[in-house]
Structure formats: structure tokens, C-alpha cells
Structure 1
Amino acid sequence: MSGRLVVRALEVAVLAVVLAAFAYCAWFRWSGGHWERVETPSMGTTAPVGTLVWVRPVDPEALRSGQVVSFRPPGRQDVYTHRITAVHADGTFSTAGDLSGPDTWTIPAGNVIGRVQWLWPGAGRAVEAAPILILGGVLTWGVALLWRRQTASVVLVGAAATLAVAVVVFRPLTDAEQLAFVQVPGGARATYVGTGLLPVRLVAPGDDSVVLRPGQAGSVVARRAEDRRLSVRLEPDVPRWFWVGLVTLCFLPALGRTVLALRRRPQGPLARTDGAVTERPDPGRRSVEPPRVRRTRGRRAVSHGRVG
């Protein structure tokens, strides 16, 4: 199978997957489901910040303790996604965040939006960056139409630039949120929770440090420095194999283009056909016809051939 057929098959497969995904999303929305994006770390590692929550309507009488539901607290319009901790006899519910602890309210059955069907960590970040991703995709597509001879290069550069802008604007990779800063003898205990897509290390002056994965909380003790200040810092804690894989992934498109170019390059000035060696035609060379000789009444006239 030629490279062109492989590329075409991949394009058809990707298009089929995208259309199937859109069709399922349309059916999910038509059947009453909807999506929520987690913006706070109250659910800890169950639903870190940036998780896309798939919520489906449910009969309140079918809800049980331990299930995760989306609801509106009494007198508020904000949507919360927490875990049911108790089902009361009057049909109300007590809820709590896995990280934040018990809520102060009791949820009436009519305030329950639905039960969480799926939790997709990180997918909410893509929804948040959708305007930039769509705009970058449209601009890349337009430039590729104008510069068709370099379509692959335009697509690669446009995709890389779009992703870079989205990362700079929304900073989804490494981040953390402060939960508490409690005074202890000689300093303070700082508690943070990871809110990025990648793990970070919370470091206090000295040797105290802890790794925070998405939705995971941890504490370090910050000692007072000579200027009486308390400080902590956050550092990415990504293993070396991740950076090696990322760099390799970045070079794969260029490597693929190089391989295709080498396969399409002519092998040399000579081509073998049916056992005979013939010179490969050169499209850049002008062909000159040999002069033709004709006789006119005993005299020989020479008419030169045309230059093509």
C-alpha cells in the first residue's frame, strides 16, 4: 500500500471517529444530558480541576449514598458536583466534597440536576480553550488552502502555534491552589492542592517537599527566614521519560515528511525498463530535433529542426 493510500485511510478513519463522537454528543444532549466543567478542587482526585462531567437526569428516589450528583444549593444558581453522604426520610440529601468535607446545606430533591455518568479528567481544559483552538484551526485551514504546495508544513506550524497560544493563555499544565496556611511553632504549615494536568512539587526552604498530582492535596512546613518571611515555591515534577517522549513526538511529523520525500525522490539518471537501461527524461532540459535534409532539383537544402 502506497503512502498516499495510508494517509487517505487515516483521514477517513479520523473523520469517521469525529462524526461518531458528534453524533453521540448530540444524542446525549437530546436525551436530557448535559456537561459541567469542574472549576474548584473540592472533589479532590475524583474530579480534579478541569474535569468534564457528564450528567444525566435521574429520578431522585433512585439516588443512593455514595453516588456523585450535580445540584444547585438552596437559594443559589451555582452548580455543584459532590457526593451524596446521606438520604433523609423527607427525600432531601446531604452532600460533601471528597476534599472539602461536608456541605452546610441539605439538598431538596427538586434541586438535583442529575447523576454523574462519566468523569473525564482534563477534558474540561479543552472545552475552556475551545475558542482559541477553533480560531487557530480556521486560520490554519485558510492558509493551507492558499498555500497548497506546503499544506503539511502549514498544518504542522499552525497546530503548534495554536496549542502554544492556548497553553500560554490558560496555563493548564502545572498549577496549584492554596487551601490553608496555618501557623505552627517556628513557621507555618502550607497546604496546597494540584490543579494542573501535570504533577508539581511543593517545596519549602530546607528539605521539606511533597509532590501534588492533579486533585491531590499536600502540606509542607515553611520555616521563618532571616527576614522573618515565610515562603514556598512550586516546581514541575515531570519524569525525564515524559520530556523524551514529548520531544520525540514533536519530531515525528518532520521525520515522516523526510521519509516520504526520500521515497518520492528519483533513484538516479538511469531507469531500467524490460531489462534495458534507458536514460530518465529530464523535464528541465530543452530538446533539439536533428536537422532534416531534403533535395530540390539536384540541390540539397537543409532545414533546421525546431527547438522545443
Structure 2
Amino acid sequence: MTIGTASRVGATAVSRRRRAPGRAVSGRVLVTVAAVLLVLLAVGAAMAAGLRTFDVRTPSMGRTAPVGSLVVTVPLGQHRLVVGDVVTFVPPAAARGATTARLPYTHRVAAIADGAITTKGDANGAADAWTITRGDVVGRVVAVLPGAGWVLRMLPWGVGGVGVVWLLAGFLTDRALRTAARLVGVSAVLAVVAAVFRPFVALVVTGVDAGARPVATVVSTGLLPVRAVGAAGASDRLVSGAAGQVPLPPGSDGAVAIAARLDLTPAGWAVLAVLCAVPLVVGVFLARSRRGGGRPARQDEDEVAAPVAFS
């Protein structure tokens, strides 16, 4: 009788241990939902206060707001615009043509005269072809978030791909193989999305000087340092948003072929190699850990939980 009582006590303890993960999952779900609601509430309050964000897609502002940045603006309110302010504005319809979409620009105030505001991109050689008024200004830039624009662009594709991988891997019954498949699959999805959007290594040719010593002016639009390499040489090391010049062969007629070559320090290459190798190594380790294994852990729990009958 004493042994039977101990067995029932053991079964109750194991049952409680089994129910604990369920309660933990419920707690994590509640915390996640609460965090999402708080973020949505904060975003809604910011939008109600007039804050707006814009994704930078052209290199006209150079290193001030590189391609892929997210600029945060606030309404002008009582703020008096001065030369040097960075503003987001919509050019007048007459300046862009009646049939051209009026897209927002983010440039710096270069001059103000009698209410007419002249703007200029930091990386542009000349001021904009139009002048704007205070009414054309959407807001004054108060923050620049480098790389955040890339994240927003890639997020839908990344989330969709990760969701498909997670769903398909769920059909694997072995937990270690399922985890390995998800790890490798998620890494593959992120690699494909990065290859399509090219947020890390890219450049734009902004001009060609076909003089006696022809050169092309380029701007780095990726997040990592690069060198622009042409047929006649390479540029200096360019960080995100930086401009440089690439020598061109004599007689170049404007058709140039320039490639972006990743230019990291030895420490940077080491970090990149580790980041690329870790998902594959961990996935292979998890997959191989199931070989030669012995019985699953749950089998022991089931044996402990089994009631002992006495006649």
C-alpha cells in the first residue's frame, strides 16, 4: 500500500511537470501580445502627434541619409526654417509636370528668399530645379535610422518565407531534425531575400566625365564598405552613402561597367564567416545528434507516471 501511494504521488508530480510547459507557453503568448499592442499604441500616438517616416531610395543625400535609411519627420509647427535644415517636401506640380507623380523628397534647405525655399541634396552637384514654399514642406527631419528602410522593404518577403519554412518543417516528427530544418531553411530564405534586395553591397553611377581622363562618379548604396571597380581601376573605400570616382578607359562613351567589391577588414571577414557558418553547423549538429541515440526522454517520464496496481 505504501508503494502504491508513492507511485500515485510520482504520477501527480510528473503530470504537473507536463502541464508546466503549457502554462509557460500561455505566459509567453500573453507577453508577446501585450508587447505588440504596446508597440502599436506607441506608433498610433506618434502618428497622431504628426510624426511620419519616409524610406530613402535615392543617393541624393549622401552619408547624411544613405539609401535604405528611414527618416523621421515632425510638422513644422512654429519652427522657423533656416538654411541647413533637412526637410521632406513634395515639389510643386508645375515643377514635376502634371502627369508625373508627386513623390516626397528629403533634401537640405540651401537658401531662403522672400518665402521661396531652395533645396539641394548633399550629394548633388547643383541645387534642385524648383523652389518650394513652406506649404510644400511635409516635415522637418529629426532623426535618420540607417538600414531601417531596408528592413521594412524586406520584412513582408522575409516573414512570408519564414512562415512557409516553419509550416513545412512542422511535418517532420523528429524534434531535432525539425529544428535543424527550420534553422537552415530560415537562413536560406533570408539569404535569398538579401540577394534580391541587395541591402549590403550595391552602388549607383551618378555621373560620367568623358574628358581627357574619363572618370565615373559612384555612390555606395549598400550597408557594408565596398570598392567600386572598373576596367581601368578602382575607387577608394566607400562606406554607405559615400561618393567616389572610378577611372575609365580612354574613349569611354558613357557606357561603363562598374562592380561593387566587398571591402572588409580582417575582423569583418571573420565575423561574416562566422555568421554565415553558424546556422549550417548548428543545423548539421542537431540532425546528427539523433543518430545512435537511445530512447526518447519522454519514455522515462511515461514509465514513472505509470500507476502501480496492487491486488
**TM-score by shorter chain over 0.5:** yes
Q: CA RMSD of the aligned region, Å?
A: 3.7
Of residues 36, 42, 57, the one that matches 2:60 is 42
2:161 is the alignment partner of 1:136: yes
How many angstroms does 1:204 deviate by? 4.0
Question: SS of the counterpart of 2:190?
Answer: helix
**Corresponding residue number in structure 2 for 1:199:** 225
**Corresponding residue number in structure 2 for 1:240:** 266
Seen in structure 2, the aligned counterparts of structure 1 residues 84 and 209 have a Cα distance that, compared at 3 Å, is closer
Deviations 1:60-112 (A, max 9, x none): 6533221111100111411000111233343x422111111411222111111
How many angstroms does 1:205 deviate by? 4.2
Deviations 1:88-146 (A, max 9, x none): 343x4221111114112221111111111221111111111222112113223423544
The answer (yes or no) to whether the contact 2:208–2:254 under 8 Å persists in 1 is: no
Which has the greater radius of gyration?
1
**Corresponding residue number in structure 2 for 1:173:** 200
Seen in structure 2, the aligned counterparts of structure 1 residues 207 and 35 have a Cα distance that, compared at 3 Å, is closer
**Corresponding residue number in structure 2 for 1:97:** 121
Q: What aligned pairs does 1:223-234 form with structure 2 within 5 A after superposition?
A: 223-224=249-250, 233-234=258-259
Report the Cα distance in structure 2 between the residues aligned to 1:122 and 1:254, rounded to whole angstroms: 26
Unaligned 5+ segments in structure 2 are: 1-19, 97-101, 301-311
Of residues 86, 97, 100, the one that matches 1:68 is 86
Residue identity matched to 1:211? R
The answer (yes or no) to whether the contact 2:63–2:242 under 8 Å persists in 1 is: yes
Question: SS of the counterpart of 1:153?
Answer: helix
Report the Cα distance in structure 2 between the residues aligned to 1:236 and 1:24, rounded to whole angstroms: 38
Residue identity matched to 1:132? W
**Corresponding residue number in structure 2 for 1:121:** 146
The answer (yes or no) to whether the contact 2:220–2:243 under 8 Å persists in 1 is: yes
2:46 is the alignment partner of 1:28: yes
Seen in structure 2, the aligned counterparts of structure 1 residues 120 and 61 have a Cα distance that, compared at 3 Å, is closer
2:70 is the alignment partner of 1:52: yes
Deviations 1:206-244 (A, max 9, x none): 55532222111111322338x999855322212232231
Seen in structure 2, the aligned counterparts of structure 1 residues 97 and 229 have a Cα distance that, compared at 3 Å, is closer
How many angstroms does 1:251 deviate by? 4.3
**Corresponding residue number in structure 2 for 1:211:** 237
Unaligned 5+ segments in structure 1 are: 269-281, 284-308
How many angstroms does 1:256 deviate by? 6.8
Question: SS of the counterpart of 1:66?
Answer: coil
Percentage of identical aligned residues = 34
The answer (yes or no) to whether the contact 1:182–1:189 under 8 Å persists in 2 is: yes
2:185 is the alignment partner of 1:158: yes
The answer (yes or no) to whether the contact 1:137–1:159 under 8 Å persists in 2 is: yes
The answer (yes or no) to whether the contact 1:37–1:52 under 8 Å persists in 2 is: yes
Report the Cα distance in structure 1 between the residues aligned to 2:219 and 2:253, rounded to whole angstroms: 25
**Corresponding residue number in structure 2 for 1:287:** none
**Corresponding residue number in structure 1 for 2:6:** none
Report the Cα distance in structure 2 between the residues aligned to 1:200 and 1:26, rounded to whole angstroms: 38
Report the Cα distance in structure 2 between the residues aligned to 1:166 and 1:42, rounded to whole angstroms: 25
Report the Cα distance in structure 1 between the residues aligned to 2:243 and 2:129, rounded to whole angstroms: 22
Report the Cα distance in structure 1 between the residues aligned to 2:253 and 2:68, rounded to whole angstroms: 36
| Deviation larger for 11-20 or 169-178 | 11-20
How many angstroms does 1:188 deviate by? 1.1
Residue identity matched to 2:123? L
Report the Cα distance in structure 2 between the residues aligned to 1:228 and 1:30, rounded to whole angstroms: 52
Of residues 125, 137, 147, the one that matches 1:112 is 137
Residue identity matched to 1:129? M
Residue identity matched to 1:63? L
| Deviation larger for 237-246 or 158-167 | 237-246
Q: TM-score, normalised by structure 2?
A: 0.69
Question: SS of the counterpart of 1:179?
Answer: strand
Seen in structure 2, the aligned counterparts of structure 1 residues 140 and 26 have a Cα distance that, compared at 3 Å, is farther
How many angstroms does 1:254 deviate by? 6.6
2:220 is the alignment partner of 1:220: no
How many angstroms does 1:27 deviate by? 2.4
Question: SS of the counterpart of 1:212?
Answer: coil
Task: State the number of aligned residues.
Answer: 258
Q: Which has the higher contact order (CA 8 A, sep 6+)?
A: 2
| Larger strand fraction of residues | 1
Report the Cα distance in structure 1 between the residues aligned to 2:253 and 2:46, rounded to whole angstroms: 56
| Larger helix fraction of residues | 2
The answer (yes or no) to whether the contact 2:232–2:247 under 8 Å persists in 1 is: no
